[in-house]
Amino acid sequence: MENITHGLVGFALAGIALGNPEIITTAERATIVATTAAASQLPDLDIVYLAFGKWAYLEQHRGWSHSIPAQVGSAIVLAAIARFVSGLPYSFLLFYALLGVGLHILLDFSNSFGTQALIPWSKWRVAWDLAPTFDPVMAAILGLGWLAWVSGRYPSRPAGLLALLGVGVWLLVRVGLHLWAARVVRYHTKELKSVIPTIKPWTWRYVANLPHGLVVQGEVNLITRKVVELGRLKADTEEPWIKLLRNNKEGQIFLNHSRHPHVELLQETREGSSVIRVTDLAAQKSAAEIEITGTPK
């Protein structure tokens, strides 16, 4: 999930925390807002790897920084800093810091990119395929909750609670839409691999296997129940290329993140290397060019 939505979750948590009648001073209120806002963004500190290039960032994104041990540790440190600054009870601050990082991870689970929350026990990427990276409905629910309490029209605690409850209900609606989209697609192809959300709740993309070594990308409109093929790709010739990618640093990074990798040869050089375009069919914008040594035998 993108950072605007994460930030709005942080403000919703701040609204809930500020409903505590023991928080009186301006400094205490500012500390609460800063703590929940920071907690909601902490997992995305892996953005610093962009300084080392896009492949370094891709290798680290939603990895260790999004793991349970890292987030528990970061919440403990954040709460300790907030306690030192404000004198508020540590347990109170830790509770909201843990909620902030925890909700960040849960929202990232709802996307298709995949989050390695179980490092170091597992490198499995959790991806529920429920919501796009930016969901305007989710952002609107959280934004309305924030406006309700900062405008003074509603108390902060119920406004924050209702905003988070609204997000939970919307995600349940997304679950139903996901299942509905999968059911519609299966009328057309039995070997469905993934149903992928888009910014439009009624439009979903899909990846499926076809006979004769083909893979199809498509789109389903839940309003019209229309299924449209966006392209057919030859898949049975890709395994030799994928083997070569495993021996390439950038290729390994791509494969670690890709759920449905597709490889296309762009150019063979005289030096015996190949320039290929790699794409994750489960992502809308993931194409990249990689130069690898050799060609499949």
C-alpha torsion sign, points 243, 244, 245, 247: positive
Q: Give residue-wise pLDDT tens across range 163-204.
A: 999 999 999 999 999 999 999 999 888 788 899 999 999 999
Please list, in sequence order, all residues whose beta carbon lies within 8 angstroms of the beta carbon of residue 49, skipping any fewer than 6 positions away: 56, 57, 59, 60, 61
Structure tokens at 48: 């610093």
Contact status, residue 289 vs residue 266, Cβ threshold 8 Å: yes
Q: Give residue-wise pLDDT tens across range 268-285.
A: 766 667 777 778 877 755
| pLDDT exceeds 60 at position 230 | yes
Q: What percent of the chain has pLDDT over 70?
A: 94
| pLDDT exceeds 90 at position 245 | no
Please list, in sequence order, all residues whose beta carbon lies within 8 angstroms of the beta carbon of residue 122, skipping any fewer than 6 positions away: 116
Is the pTM of the predicted complex or chain greater than 0.85?
yes
Separation in Å, CA 137 to CA 143, 171, 225, 244:
10, 10, 22, 42
Q: Give residue-wise pLDDT tens across range 72-105.
A: 999 999 999 999 998 899 999 999 999 999 999 9
Comparing 33-42, 167-176, 285-294, which segment has the lowest mean pLDDT? 285-294
Q: Please report the pLDDT score of residue 154 as a whole number.
A: 87
| pLDDT exceeds 80 at position 287 | no
Please list, in sequence order, all residues whose beta carbon lies within 8 angstroms of the beta carbon of residue 46, skipping any fewer than 6 positions away: 57, 60, 61, 62, 63, 64, 65, 66
Query: Confidence band (pLDDT; 50, 70, 90) for 53?
Result: confident
Q: Identify any residues that bridge with 261 across adjacent strands, giving them in sequence order.
A: 280
DSSP string, 207-241: EEEETTTEEEEEEEETTTTEEEEEEEEE-TT-HHH
Q: Please report the pLDDT score of residue 166 as a whole number.
A: 97
Q: Please report the pLDDT score of residue 64 as a whole number.
A: 86
Mean predicted confidence (pLDDT) in 100-115: 92
